């Protein structure tokens, strides 16, 4: 058997994909130690033995306008990677999320006879439903993390395996908030509100100010409060701190963390969360929340034309209703965000309903994700060798 048959090429385009990829690599190596992995990824994948040919931060941009600025470089990376893979002919290619980058690459490889797995369905249920056909043309197999997704592909002929969500396996069903507050040295008798304004600089540029001013307004109403804000990088932390100084809000009772978003959500009584993976994390930690998001006006105008669902947060999509308040773009003002948090604080029935539904979601998504994903991947790999 040639070395290519043992080679699994992968591309992860952002931090969440890096985490997914790392879990999958670990599960695959436990079953097939001879496999080797390379491509585009991050530090978590590298820690599992993945050979990083291109660091994922070269692809990690958010929004239409931001992506256009990096378009030529990203296309050059994809073309060169595709050329190299067609020459090397790995036994399998796995595109982890990053569908704008991966689907065209998968299509090229699939046409050349290289099996392709796409891990994480694009948001075909929310917008751009024509992507179902595009995914079916590009992937040999799709790994879906949400239970409603396989039915969306039923008519396309694309094999789909529901594998659940890894965060549901990692995060405990029952969270001890008292202990979590102690671990972060947060005041045990104060209301703790987590602020999660995003993980990228482009997100902080649009949301740091409104999060800080909303926290200030909230504190004017609820004096006995402490805020905790996990920030992903030195760059985003510096930007957040600069915004605090610019608005003279360094008096906020606030604990800033490097990473540790899970610990922050475990400790929090309430959370204000930027739309994205963090909203699912908050739900899995059973933390009542308000969801918000702002981006550049042009990016929003382009995206808004293609939205199908009346909400954007995954907890609401899973619930099939507006379980969690959402304030998006123009509605995301400091006054409105503060008011939404105050309403949630005072509406204990809504808090309990959120917590109850969040637990149902957790149980539904807890599927031993890495093992199910590894089973599906190995079946595609073995079929490609036959």
pLDDT single digits (tens) 27-64: 999 999 999 999 999 999 999 999 999 887 777 555 44
Judgement on whether residues 50 and 37 belong to the same structural domain of the protein: yes
* Better-predicted residue by pLDDT, 107 or 198: 107
- Rounded to an integer, what distance in angstroms lies between the CA atom of residue 214 and that of residue 111? 51
Q: Per the structure, how many domains does the chain have?
A: 2
Judgement on whether residues 60 and 200 belong to the same structural domain of the protein: no
- Rounded to an integer, what distance in angstroms lies between the CA atom of residue 210 and that of residue 284? 25
206-230 pLDDT, tens digit each: 889 999 999 999 999 999 999 999 9
Looking at the chain, the whole-number percentage of residues with pLDDT higher than 90 is 68
Residue 77 C-alpha from the chain's centroid: 23
Considering the domain boundaries, does residue 172 fall inside one? no
Considering the domain boundaries, does residue 26 fall inside one? yes
pLDDT of amino acid 125: 54
Among residues 15, 203, 201, the alpha carbon closest in space to that of 97 is found at: 15
Judgement on whether residues 348 and 308 belong to the same structural domain of the protein: yes
Judgement on whether residues 19 and 156 belong to the same structural domain of the protein: yes
166-209 pLDDT, tens digit each: 999 999 999 999 999 999 999 989 999 999 998 888 788 888 99
Strand partners, 292: 274, 327
pLDDT of amino acid 130: 65
pLDDT of amino acid 57: 74
pLDDT band at 231 (very low <50, low <70, confident <90, very high): very high
Judgement on whether residues 197 and 339 belong to the same structural domain of the protein: yes
Judgement on whether residues 202 and 76 belong to the same structural domain of the protein: no
Q: Go through 3-15 and write b for each residue having 16 or more CB atoms within 10 A of its CB, e for each that does not.
A: eebbbbbbbbbbb
Judgement on whether residues 229 and 318 belong to the same structural domain of the protein: yes
Mean pLDDT score of the chain, rounded to an integer?
89
- Rounded to an integer, what distance in angstroms lies between the CA atom of residue 385 and that of residue 164? 27
- Rounded to an integer, what distance in angstroms lies between the CA atom of residue 125 and that of residue 339? 30
Considering the domain boundaries, does residue 171 fall inside one? no
pLDDT of amino acid 136: 93
Which range of residues forms the domain containing residue 90?
3-164+367-385
pLDDT band at 275 (very low <50, low <70, confident <90, very high): confident
Helix or strand or coil: residue 291?
strand
325-356 pLDDT, tens digit each: 999 888 999 999 999 999 999 999 999 999 99
Considering the domain boundaries, does residue 170 fall inside one? no
Considering the domain boundaries, does residue 169 fall inside one? no
CATH number (domain holding residue 222): 3.40.50.2000
Judgement on whether residues 290 and 261 belong to the same structural domain of the protein: yes
């Amino acid at each position: 058997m040639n070395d290519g048959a043992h080679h699994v090429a992968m591309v992860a385009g952002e931090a969440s994909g890096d985490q997914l990829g790392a879990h999958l690599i670990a599960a695959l190596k436990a079953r097939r130690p001879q496999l080797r992995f390379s491509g585009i990824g991050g530090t978590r994948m590298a820690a599992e033995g993945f050979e990083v040919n291109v660091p994922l931060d070269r692809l990690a941009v958010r929004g239409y306008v931001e992506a256009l600025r990096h378009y030529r470089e990203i296309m050059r990376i994809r073309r060169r990677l595709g050329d190299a893979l067609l020459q090397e002919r790995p036994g399998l290619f796995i595109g982890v999320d990053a569908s704008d980058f991966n689907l065209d690459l998968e299509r090229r490889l699939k046409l050349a006879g290289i099996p392709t797995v796409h891990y994480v369905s694009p948001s075909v249920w929310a917008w751009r439903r024509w992507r179902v056909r595009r995914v079916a043309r590009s992937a040999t197999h799709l790994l879906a993390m949400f239970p409603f997704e396989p039915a969306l592909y039923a008519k396309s002929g694309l094999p789909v395996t529901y594998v659940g969500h890894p965060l549901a396996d990692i995060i405990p069903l029952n969270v001890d908030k008292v202990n979590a507050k102690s671990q972060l040295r947060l005041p045990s008798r104060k209301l703790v509100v987590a602020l999660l304004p995003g993980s990228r600089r482009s997100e902080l540029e649009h949301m740091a100010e409104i999060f800080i001013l909303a926290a200030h307004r909230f504190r004017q109403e609820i004096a006995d409060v402490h805020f905790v804000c996990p920030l992903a990088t030195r760059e985003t932390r510096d930007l957040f701190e600069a915004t605090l100084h610019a608005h003279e809000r360094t008096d906020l009772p606030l604990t800033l963390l490097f990473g540790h978003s899970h610990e922050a959500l475990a400790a929090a009584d309430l959370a204000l969360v930027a739309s994205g993976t963090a909203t699912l994390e908050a739900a899995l930690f059973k933390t009542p929340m308000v969801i918000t998001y702002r981006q550049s006006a042009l990016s929003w105008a382009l995206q808004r034309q293609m939205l199908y669902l009346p909400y954007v947060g995954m907890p609401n999509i899973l619930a099939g209703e507006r379980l969690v308040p959402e304030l998006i773009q123009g509605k995301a003002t400091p006054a409105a965000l503060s008011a939404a948090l105050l309403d949630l604080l005072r509406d204990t029935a809504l808090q309990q309903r959120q917590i109850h539904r969040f637990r149902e979601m957790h149980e539904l998504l807890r599927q031993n994700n890495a093992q199910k994903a590894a089973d599906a991947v190995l079946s595609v790999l073995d079929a490609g060798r036959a």
